[in-house]
């Protein structure tokens, strides 16, 4: 009696299936006796009981121990039985039944303050369910997708079976025109052309429809349509978001998506490459580019923000997006506490986070520069790629040549004195010894120094020394004396940069970090820099001589620190510098302070010197001893240097061939580095060699570290294979394992939603306990298994669906279908749904003949951006007429017309758009320049097509067909012809109005057309474009 | 030109309660499920398009005008008088007062945190004796109308999260804004105007705002705030295209209506019905909006009361007047934004300018509402996203200083709409750093605001991703003592 078709008979909830039995063991549950199972009205836990418990009970008696009341959980039989809440088979003995039936306000469950109540039917169901033995099931979506798929079945078998059970009569097929329009919009986002309509209507072959589908799936418009949907899922935006919301360069990823759909990249690889393309063996540039998916979350730059707070937020966003997009899980609900409804713990949430944390990134992007947040991928043009290979080879050659030249020096016979260039100066290029009269006015206090006075720094005001602009291919050195009064966790000794996190530290700097000296050259901290740190602590209260030398190589090995004249042993913290280290008009070094950073409070600095060359160790030793470097002009002094130091010195200053090869090396580096600076970069994922520490965060707050966690998948789902790496690649393989119960179900459901307007599971975003159960569970599983077996072939899936009878049916509700199935859950009729914002605009553009069909490229700026919250100047020409997925998307000020038409904001991952109807929509479609202009374009096309002297009947008919893909009925034609005539009279009497009207937008109707005709027919076009036929997919 | 809605259409509109905010199309397909059934059974007080079946209790206010002062006005220079700071001017903030409060990256690494006394004179005003700074002479005149809450506190330390928190109950983007919640819960009182209107003072720099601050989050997009523009069409593409005059447009709409009616003859289809309604309402909106923005009928005395800027579209004064006109026409939530309160430096010069722009119009609005008998049912709120520090950011000099962000305490005022007039609620310590009595968290403020409108904040919910979401997350307590 109650059979609703939820279960295909072989999956019947009560039967003792091997899989079901195994599951019952896994979750420790008892199963009903076979006798009970055979009863016709056996209550099904997943469909009938779980929703009641989940909605009314689990919040306090569910998976989350924090919020659990009375130490009772009702999501597991064992605990409920131990507690006495449930006595299987005996409702009268069960406390649960007693409490839900109680009249006592202090006793009744759910309690009054929960604002939840059970109705009589629900109470009855719970009671009966316990009487029948209180059978639990694993939540349906966590159960395996049956492996034994019946290949003889079709989509329509499943649908028709349910229709028969429900005594619903299927509608007849839609007219050929209607189906063609529906399928063309669904698969390409565009309406069919008149030629396509004619071709289809005259094709009598039995494969006519299949041919159309193949044609559509092979068109580039298909990839654009599918990508438009994926942009919502991936929270794609051309700007960073949050508050400042600068532009960012991510559109090559969008083009990757279009291409991936067009070449029908299998869906499992689509997931693997986006989540972990960088970790694939011999990853291609394209596969690494795919991982930009993980970096599309909003990013922060607001001054004074806490860097770690937002880094944590980024990681959480990645985990949350992957959960929603691929698994339909609301895992983020377990951020602050265990999930209240689904068996997902807070620890598991942060274990999932751990997969996404291992990249070298900063929580804030650079305010003062346009550096791309690390990690990045270079995207050279073919030309640049070729040049770069050459430039790198040139550097390698020059290095080899120079190294050979250095080794070739005979240090015994080479005489320095005569060979020293007469132009050579050993003086520093900038310095501050704090001894001069003028230095008394400098910030900080003057105290006794190593020689004369030194500076005691306040930490809040710095001393400027310069100029000290160096590019990264230029060698340079800095020498100073310093003394710290205490152990500094962090102190800026000196820097040459526009700021700390506000500029991602771009520049070069010497800091004390955790008591140790740290020297760096930085493009973007932390992922694009060289940085070394001493092994030993800076002594407290003692003067120390420090020299930093750099050789122009962009390598950590080329950066050295000398302490008290000796080369200091250092660890390499970063060795990844590939881009410029200068920015803006910062010419000087600042000592002791940096905006919003921690200064060298009460630190002493003296004898500060900058050199535009790499000091040799001999020179360093001399400066430590306060000896003037000019003494090196004496050959005697040089011959006294120990051998190694002598070679180094001679190579730098005396040996002509060395000096020449060094100059060549510098030139080769400059050429390479300038080229590198000019190449575009995009944010991607690149795994750190060592995993970053990840913790359970108390209440989900970034600095409330609790237990340390490693990457792991949630226990409720099948375990990850032992031989899979515990990184994003392992995670992606786990997700796309044919036994994963969620991935394929979630995917086919989303594509079902794309075509049918609603998913088999309506809550596309939630396959958990609080989500809605599938309307056709067996069909969902059959499709999901078929999808996996097909090699995750998206085009094949879509083809199967659009060629199903269910999809082909007319969408008109016949008889009382509107009453019996208002939402068309059972699919007795075909799908009808509002066109998306993209489809409405793209249809208008396509029909107007104005569309610029170029695929991919930088974002376009159509008219509507001029009236956005933060107005942007629209493009001229082509940019006005590109398809809508290319429209520039600014998170804090999205394209306003698209927003009114229910586009997603793209702040967070969204897999479903709520559709609304509001008068604002009528305004933009009736008055917006894009649409008025498109109507004029369509009218002109028709006039050119049928000839200006064709009668208005013919014009209207053709226009109507162009815009709606069908011919008008006689009555429709009469109404529109009458509108035409009235409008023509108005315009004929008011030529000025005609001119004004036609001035809308850049479009100019051809000279050969009569302007009144164009304007009149445009008004008719506007009327048609705003009809249900054009705005609802039927 | 009048446009008669045929009887069946009228019924249709009433049935779906479609105002200018519109409707979720999913609701067309089935009987809209009421979000929550109220106890008061006061169904008739709500329009049909409200998600709430009834108010949860008798409302004290019907609508809100929220004068958001973005950037965070300095409470101790305006409304929270701290003479101790003048005594201790230039001395260090004691560690025991700071108590480990996390500071922003802007002053967090400063070596010294010198206290700054307010350079502005304070005096007591009205029978209530409220202390106010000399920068607020007009607000001082309405001291006895105000409920001044000095013990507001928040969790955010920066503007983006701070404003988002106050407007949506969450620091992160993605949740519906307060106005969207009210549009959803209470519907539109006047179907010819949106339920939620946003007005921004033009030409103000400072910390940027984002469209999500009046966005609908996961609620249907019909509930997003409609921003009225100060130049051009007040609402996106409100006017007919050039060359299209009213009779022509009417003729076109009639033809479209005929065609849609034709469809309905063969099949009653909710999408078609919604489309017809949409076009009719749009046509009416083209008249109702110019009417509300046209201030030519205002008396000179009224105009003068709002101050000299009132004649210029997009000023705070002009927006305050427009807010009153929108309130008169039943708009539920009128959100003003005035930026520029972020005085990290240059406070002595900048703060007086900010006050000059806002003090008189805000005061005039309260008095104007009172004079028209509307103050009782209109809640006016004034305030920013957090407070400012009692210590100086940057270098303290004789003529200049700045104050950094301070989440631990800030001051807001409310007037009308069921709050107690002439009171000050909550206290901060003598340093103006910590709340010492009656703390009011942002969620408490939100819970109280909803309460005043007849809503139990725990019961205005929306199911999304398997969870019942609400404005106050899982927090918020009604601040009973400030209710009239």
B88 secondary structure, DSSP code: T
Measured between beta carbons, the chain B residues lying within 8 angstroms of A771 are: 466
Selecting from B272, B285, B467 the residue whose C-beta is nearest the C-beta of A770 gives B467
- Which pairing describes strands B146-153 and B440-441: parallel, antiparallel, or unpaired? parallel
Distance between B367 CA and the closest CA of chain A, angstroms = 31
pLDDT for the residue numbered B26: 61
Partner residue facing A920 (CB), from B106, B236, B242: B236
Range scoring the smallest mean pLDDT among A616-620, B316-320, B477-481: A616-620
> With pLDDT > 70 as the criterion, what percentage of chain A qualifies?
95
Per-residue confidence (pLDDT) for residue A737, from 0 to 100: 97
Residue A492 structure tokens: 């800026």
Q: How many CB atoms lie within 10 A of CB A34?
A: 10
Q: CATH code for B40-237+304-482?
A: 3.40.720
Is A597 at the interface with chain B, CB within 8 A? yes
Check pLDDT > 50 for residue A305.
yes
Tell me, yes or no, if B252 comes closer than 8 A to chain A by beta carbon.
Answer: yes
Q: How confident is the model at residue B9 (pLDDT cuts 50, 70, 90)?
A: very low
Domains and CATH numbers, chain A: 9-138 (no CATH), 266-371+680-740 (no CATH), 427-627 (2.60.120.200), 929-1033 (no CATH)
Q: How many residues comprise chain A?
A: 1034
Whole-complex ipTM: 0.84
A826: Cβ contacts below 8 Å, ≥ 6 apart: A159, A162, A163, A166, A168, A775
> Which of the four pLDDT bands, split at 50, 70 and 90, describes residue A554?
very high
Query: Taking CA atoms, what residue in B is nearest to A320?
Result: B465
Interface test with B, best of A505, A926, A988, A995 (most B CBs within 10 A): A926
Given a cut of 90, is residue B205 above it in pLDDT?
Answer: no
Q: Does the pLDDT of residue B1 top 60, yes or no?
A: no
| B235 contact residues in A (CB cutoff 8 A) | 920, 923
- Terminal CA-CA length for chain A: 34
Least trusted range by pLDDT, from A259-273, A660-674, A807-821: A807-821
CB-based contact B269 A893, cutoff 8 Å: no
Chain A nearest CA to B176, separation (Å): 12
User: For A14-60, how does the pLDDT look when each residue is reduced to its tens digit (9 = 90+)?
Assistant: 334 444 444 443 443 333 333 333 444 788 887 788 888 888 888 88
The sign one gets for the Cα dihedral A244, A249, A251, A257 is: negative
Selecting from A460, A812, A896 the residue whose C-beta is nearest the C-beta of B110 gives A460
Chain B contact for A518 (CB, 8 A cutoff): no
Listed residue (A323, A34, A9) closest to A146, CA to CA: A9
Average pLDDT of the residues of chain B: 88
Q: Please answer whether residues B478 and B188 qualify as being in contact, where contact means their C-beta atoms are separated by less than 8 angstroms.
A: no
What average pLDDT does range B172-183 have in this prediction?
Answer: 91
Residue-level pLDDT at B361: 98
pLDDT at A832 over 60: yes
Residue B402, pLDDT > 50, answer: yes
| Interface contact A923-B237, CB threshold 8 A | yes
Residue A417 confidence (pLDDT): 54
Q: What is the pLDDT of residue A1007?
A: 83
Confidence of residue B204 (pLDDT cuts 50, 70, 90): confident
Mean pLDDT over the full length of chain A: 91
Residue A67 contacts B, CB cutoff 8 Å: no
Name A464's bridge partners.
Answer: A590
Residue range A454-469: mean pLDDT, rounded: 93
Question: What b/e readout covers B435-469, taking b as 16+ CB neighbours within 10 angstroms?
Answer: beeebbbbbbbbbbbbbbbbbbbbbbbbebbbbbb
Return the closest-CA partner of residue A464 out of A447, A449, A491, A442.
A442
What pLDDT does B174 receive?
A: 81
- B27 pLDDT band (50/70/90 cuts)? low
Closest Cα in chain A, distance from residue B156 (Å): 10
Interface subset of B 387-406, CB within 8 angstroms of A = 395, 404-405
What's the pLDDT at A355?
A: 97
φ and ψ of A454, to 5 deg: -130, 175
Residue B228 has pLDDT above 70, yes or no: yes
In this complex, is the C-beta atom of A607 within 8 Å of any C-beta atom belonging to chain B?
A: no
Which residues of chain B lie closer than 8 angstroms to A983, CB-CB?
248, 251-252
> With an 8 Å Cβ cutoff, are A972 and B262 in contact?
yes
Q: Considering only the beta carbons, identify the residue of A306, A905, A999 that sits closest to B212.
A: A905
Nearest residue in chain B measured CA to CA from A866: B236
pLDDT of res. A54: 85
Give every CB contact of residue A720 below 8 A, 6+ residues apart in sequence.
A712, A713, A726, A730, A731, A734
The number of beta carbons lying within 10 Å of the beta carbon of residue A861 is 21
Nearest by CB to A330, which of B36, B229, B466?
A: B466
Cβ-Cβ contacts under 8 Å for A239 (sequence gap 6 or more): A245, A246, A247, A248, A889, A890, A891, A892
pLDDT for residue A14: 38
Confidence of residue B72 (pLDDT cuts 50, 70, 90): very high
Interchain CB contact of A832 with B (< 8 Å):
yes
Is A983 in the B-facing interface, judged by CB distances under 8 Å?
Answer: yes
Q: Are A237 and A906 in contact (CB under 8 A)?
A: yes
Structure confidence at residue B183 (pLDDT): 92
Contact A917 B239 (CB under 8 A): no
Res A815 pLDDT > 50 = yes
Question: pLDDT tier at A697 (50, 70, 90 boundaries)?
Answer: very high
φ, ψ for residue A430, nearest 5 deg: -160, 150
Does A923 contact chain B (CB < 8 Å)? yes
Residue A303 pLDDT: 82
Q: Is B257 on the interface with A (CB under 8 A)?
A: no
The pLDDT score that the predictor gives to residue B12 is: 43
Q: Which of A770, A822, A922 sits opposite B278 (nearest CB)?
A: A922
Contact flag A313-B23 (C-beta cutoff 8 Å): no
Cβ pair B465:A330 closer than 8 A: yes
Question: What is the DSSP-derived secondary structure letter of residue A47?
Answer: I
What pLDDT shows up at residue B14?
42
Would you call A460 and B258 a contact, using CB atoms and an 8 Å cutoff? no
Q: In this predicted structure, what is the pLDDT of residue B13?
A: 43
Contact A601 B111 (CB under 8 A): yes
Cβ of residue B157 closer than 8 Å to a chain A Cβ: yes
Give the CA-trace dihedral at B106, B108, B109, B110, to 10 degrees: 80
Q: Which helix (H) or strand (E) holds A684?
A: none
Q: Say which of A302, A771, A918 has its CB closest to residue B22.
A: A918
pLDDT value at residue B157: 87
Using a CB–CB cutoff of 8 Å, tell me whether B109 touches chain A.
yes
Say yes or no: A675 contacts chain B, CB-CB below 8 A. Answer: no
For residue A553, CA distances in Å to A111, A390, A513, A676 come to 71, 17, 25, 14
Q: In this complex, how many residue pairs, one in chain A and one in chain B, have their CB atoms less than 8 Å apart?
A: 270
Domain ranges within chain B, ordered by starting residue: 40-237+304-482
The SS3 call for residue A171 is: coil
Q: Which residues of B touch A501 (CB under 8 A)?
A: 105
Is the Cα torsion angle A834, A837, A840, A846 positive or negative in sign? negative
Q: Is A712 on the interface with B (CB under 8 A)?
A: no
Distance CA B207, CA B70 (A): 8
Q: Flag whether pLDDT at A681 surpasses 50.
A: yes
pLDDT tens, residue by residue, A148-204: 999 999 999 999 999 999 989 999 999 999 999 999 999 999 999 999 999 999 999
Q: How far are the Cα atoms of A226, A232, A865, B51 from residue A913, in angstroms, in the given order? A: 15, 9, 22, 19
- For B229-249, what is the mean pLDDT? 91
Distance CA A560, CA A551 (A): 9
Can you tell me the distance from the alpha carbon of B144 to that of B147, in angstroms, rounded to the nearest whole number?
8
- A501-518: string of b/e by CB count within 10 Å (b at 16+)? bbbbbbbbbbbbbebbbb
Q: What is the mean pLDDT of residues A635-648?
A: 79
pLDDT of residue B99: 82
% of chain B residues with pLDDT over 90: 65
Is it the case that residue B21 has pLDDT exceeding 70? no
Binary contact (A1023, B239; C-beta < 8 A): no
**Are the beta carbons of A972 and B285 separated by less than 8 Å?**
no
What share of chain A in percent tops pLDDT 90? 72
Label the pairing between strands A604-611 and A430-432: antiparallel
Q: What is the pTM of this model?
A: 0.86
Model confidence at B41, in pLDDT bands (50, 70, 90)? very low
The verdict on a CB contact (< 8 Å) between A922 and B241 is no
């Amino acid at each position: 009696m109650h059979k609703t078709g939820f279960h295909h008979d072989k999956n019947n909830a009560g039967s003792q299936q091997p899989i079901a039995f195994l599951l019952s063991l896994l979750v420790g549950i008892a199963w009903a006796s076979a006798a009970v199972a055979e009863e016709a009205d056996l209550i099904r836990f997943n469909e009938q009981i779980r929703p009641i418990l989940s909605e009314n009970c689990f919040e306090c008696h569910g998976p989350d121990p924090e919020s659990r009341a009375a130490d009772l959980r009702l999501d597991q039989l064992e605990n409920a039985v131990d507690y006495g809440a449930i006595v299987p088979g005996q409702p009268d003995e069960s406390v649960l039944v007693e409490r839900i039936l109680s009249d006592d306000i202090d006793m009744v469950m759910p309690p009054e303050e929960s604002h939840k109540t059970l109705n009589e039917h629900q109470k009855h169901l719970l009671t009966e369910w316990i009487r029948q033995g209180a059978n639990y099931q694993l939540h349906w979506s966590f159960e395996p997708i049956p492996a034994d798929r019946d290949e003889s079945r079709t989509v329509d078998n499943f649908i028709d079976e349910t229709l028969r059970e429900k005594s619903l009569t299927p509608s007849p097929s839609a007219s050929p025109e209607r189906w063609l329009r529906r399928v063309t919009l669904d698969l390409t986002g565009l309406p069919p052309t008149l030629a396509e309509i004619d071709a289809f209507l005259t094709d009598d072959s039995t494969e006519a429809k299949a041919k159309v589908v193949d044609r559509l799936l092979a068109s580039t418009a298909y990839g654009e349509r599918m990508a438009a949907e994926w942009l919502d899922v991936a929270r794609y935006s051309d700007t960073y978001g949050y508050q400042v919301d600068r532009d960012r360069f991510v559109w090559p990823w969008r083009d990757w998506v279009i291409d991936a759909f067009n070449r029908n990249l299998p869906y499992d690889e689509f997931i693997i490459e986006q989540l972990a393309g960088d970790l694939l063996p011999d990853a291609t540039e394209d596969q690494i580019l795919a991982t930009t998916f993980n970096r599309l979350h909003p990013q922060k730059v607001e001054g004074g923000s806490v860097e770690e707070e937002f880094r944590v937020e980024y990681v959480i966003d990645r985990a949350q997006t992957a959960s929603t997009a691929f698994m339909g899980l609301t895992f983020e609900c377990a951020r602050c506490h265990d999930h209240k409804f689904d068996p997902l713990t807070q620890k598991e949430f942060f274990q999932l986070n751990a997969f996404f944390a291992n990249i070298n990134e900063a929580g804030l992007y650079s305010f003062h520069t346009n550096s791309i947040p690390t990690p990045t991928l270079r995207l050279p043009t073919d030309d640049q790629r070729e040049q770069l290979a050459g430039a790198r080879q040139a550097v390698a050659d020059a290095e080899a040549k120079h190294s050979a030249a250095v080794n070739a020096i005979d240090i015994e016979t080479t005489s320095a004195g005569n060979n020293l260039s007469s132009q050579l100066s050993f003086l520093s290029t900038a310095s501050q010894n704090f001894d001069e009269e003028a230095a008394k006015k400098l910030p900080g206090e003057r105290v006794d120094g190593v020689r004369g006075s030194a500076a005691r720094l306040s930490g809040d005001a710095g001393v400027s020394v310069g100029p000290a602009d160096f590019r990264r291919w230029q060698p340079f050195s800095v020498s100073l004396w310093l003394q710290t009064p205490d152990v500094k966790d962090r102190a800026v000794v000196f820097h040459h940069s526009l700021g700390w996190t506000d500029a991602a530290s771009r520049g070069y700097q010497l800091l004390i970090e955790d008591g140790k000296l740290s020297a760096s050259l930085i493009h973007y901290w932390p992922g694009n820099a060289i940085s070394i740190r001493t092994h030993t602590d800076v002594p407290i209260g003692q003067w120390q001589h420090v020299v930093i030398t750099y050789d122009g190589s962009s390598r950590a090995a080329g950066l050295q620190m000398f302490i008290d004249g000796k080369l200091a042993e250092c660890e390499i913290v970063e060795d990844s510098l590939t881009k410029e280290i200068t920015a803006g008009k910062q010419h000087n070094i600042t000592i002791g302070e940096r905006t919003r950073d921690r200064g060298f409070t009460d630190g002493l600095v003296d004898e500060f010197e900058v050199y535009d060359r790499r000091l040799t160790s001999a020179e360093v030793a001399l400066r430590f001893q306060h000896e003037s470097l000019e003494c090196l002009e004496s050959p005697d002094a040089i011959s006294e240097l120990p051998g190694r130091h002598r070679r180094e010195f001679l190579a730098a200053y005396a040996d002509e061939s060395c000096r020449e090869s060094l100059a060549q090396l510098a030139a080769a580096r400059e050429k390479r580095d300038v080229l590198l600076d000019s190449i575009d970069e995009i944010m991607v994922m690149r795994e750190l060699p060592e995993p970053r520490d990840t913790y359970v965060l108390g209440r989900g707050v970034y600095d409330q570290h609790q237990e340390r966690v490693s990457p792991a998948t949630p226990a409720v789902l099948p375990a990850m294979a032992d031989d899979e790496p515990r990184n994003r690649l392992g995670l992606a393989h786990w997700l796309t394992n044919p036994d994963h119960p969620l991935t394929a179900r979630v995917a086919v459901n989303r594509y079902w939603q794309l075509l049918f307007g609603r998913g088999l599971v309506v809550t596309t975003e939630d396959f958990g306990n609080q989500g809605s159960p599938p309307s056709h569970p067996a069909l969902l599983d059959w499709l999901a298994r078929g999808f996996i077996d097909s090699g995750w072939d998206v085009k094949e899936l879509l083809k199967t669906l659009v060629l199903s009878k269910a999809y082909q049916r007319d969408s008109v509700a016949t008889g009382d279908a509107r009453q019996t199935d208002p939402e068309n859950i059972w699919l007795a009729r075909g799908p009808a749904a509002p066109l998306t914002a993209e489809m409405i605009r793209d249809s208008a553009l396509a029909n107007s003949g104005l569309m610029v069909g170029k695929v991919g490229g930088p974002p376009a700026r159509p008219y509507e951006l001029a009236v956005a919250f933060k107005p942007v100047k629209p493009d001229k020409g082509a940019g006005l007429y590109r398809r809508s997925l290319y429209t520039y998307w600014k998170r804090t000020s999205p394209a306003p017309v698209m927003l009114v038409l229910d586009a997603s904001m793209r702040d967070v991952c969204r897999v479903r758009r709520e559709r609304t109807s509001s008068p604002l929509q009528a305004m933009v479609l009736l008055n917006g320049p894009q649409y008025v202009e498109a109507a004029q374009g369509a009218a002109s096309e028709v006039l050119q097509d049928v000839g200006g002297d064709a009668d208005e009947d013919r014009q209207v008919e053709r226009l109507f067909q162009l815009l709606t893909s069908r011919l008008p009925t006689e009555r429709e034609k009469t109404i529109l012809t009458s509108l035409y005539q009235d409008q023509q009279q108005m315009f004929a009497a008011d030529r000025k109005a005609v001119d004004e009207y036609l001035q809308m937008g850049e479009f100019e109707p051809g000279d050969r057309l009569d302007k009144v005709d164009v304007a009149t027919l445009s008004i008719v076009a506007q009327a048609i474009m705003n009809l249900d036929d054009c705005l609802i997919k039927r | 030109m009048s446009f008669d809605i045929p009887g069946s259409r009228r019924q249709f509109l009433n049935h779906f309660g479609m105002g200018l905010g519109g409707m979720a199309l999913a609701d067309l397909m089935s009987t809209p499920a009421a979000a929550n059934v109220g106890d008061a059974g006061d169904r008739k007080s709500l329009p049909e398009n409200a998600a709430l079946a009834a108010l949860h209790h008798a409302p004290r206010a019907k609508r809100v005008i929220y004068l958001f002062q973005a950037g965070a006005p300095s409470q101790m220079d305006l409304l929270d008088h701290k003479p101790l700071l003048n005594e201790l001017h230039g001395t260090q903030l004691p560690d025991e007062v700071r108590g480990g409060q996390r500071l922003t990256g802007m002053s967090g690494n400063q070596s010294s945190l010198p206290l700054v006394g307010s350079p502005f004179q304070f005096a007591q005003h009205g029978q209530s004796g409220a202390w106010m700074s000399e920068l607020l002479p007009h607000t001082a005149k309405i001291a006895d109308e105000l409920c001044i809450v000095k013990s507001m506190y928040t969790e955010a330390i920066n503007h983006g999260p701070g404003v988002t928190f106050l407007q949506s109950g969450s620091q992160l983007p993605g949740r519906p804004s307060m106005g969207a919640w009210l549009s959803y819960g209470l519907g539109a009182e006047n179907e010819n105007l949106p339920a939620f209107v946003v007005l921004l003072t033009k030409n103000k720099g400072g910390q940027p705002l984002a469209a999500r601050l009046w966005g609908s989050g996961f609620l249907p997009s019909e509930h997003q705030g409609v921003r009225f523009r100060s130049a051009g069409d007040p609402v996106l593409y409100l006017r007919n295209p050039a060359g299209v005059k009213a009779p022509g447009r009417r003729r076109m709409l009639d033809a479209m209506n005929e065609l849609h009616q034709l469809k309905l003859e063969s099949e009653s289809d909710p999408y078609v019905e919604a489309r017809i309604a949409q076009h009719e309402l749009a046509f009416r909106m083209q008249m109702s909006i110019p009417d509300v923005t046209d201030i030519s009928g205002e008396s000179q005395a009224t105009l003068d009361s709002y101050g000299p800027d009132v004649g210029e579209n997009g000023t705070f004064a002009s927006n305050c007047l427009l807010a009153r006109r929108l309130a008169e026409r039943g708009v539920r939530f009128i959100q003003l934004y005035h930026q520029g309160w972020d005085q990290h430096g240059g406070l002595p010069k900048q703060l007086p300018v900010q006050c000059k722009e806002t003090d008189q119009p805000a005061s005039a609005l309260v008095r104007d509402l009172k004079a028209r008998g509307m103050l009782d049912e209109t809640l006016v709120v004034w305030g920013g996203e957090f407070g400012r520090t009692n210590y100086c950011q940057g270098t303290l000099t004789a003529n200049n200083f700045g104050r950094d962000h301070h989440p631990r305490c800030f001051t807001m005022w409310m007037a009308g709409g069921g709050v107690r007039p002439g009171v000050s609620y909550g206290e901060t310590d003598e340093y103006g750093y910590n709340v010492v009595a009656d703390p009011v968290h942002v969620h408490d403020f939100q819970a109280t605001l909803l309460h005043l409108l007849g809503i139990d904040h725990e019961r205005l919910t929306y199911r999304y991703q398997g969870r019942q979401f609400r404005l106050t997350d899982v927090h918020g307590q009604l601040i009973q003592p400030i209710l009239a």
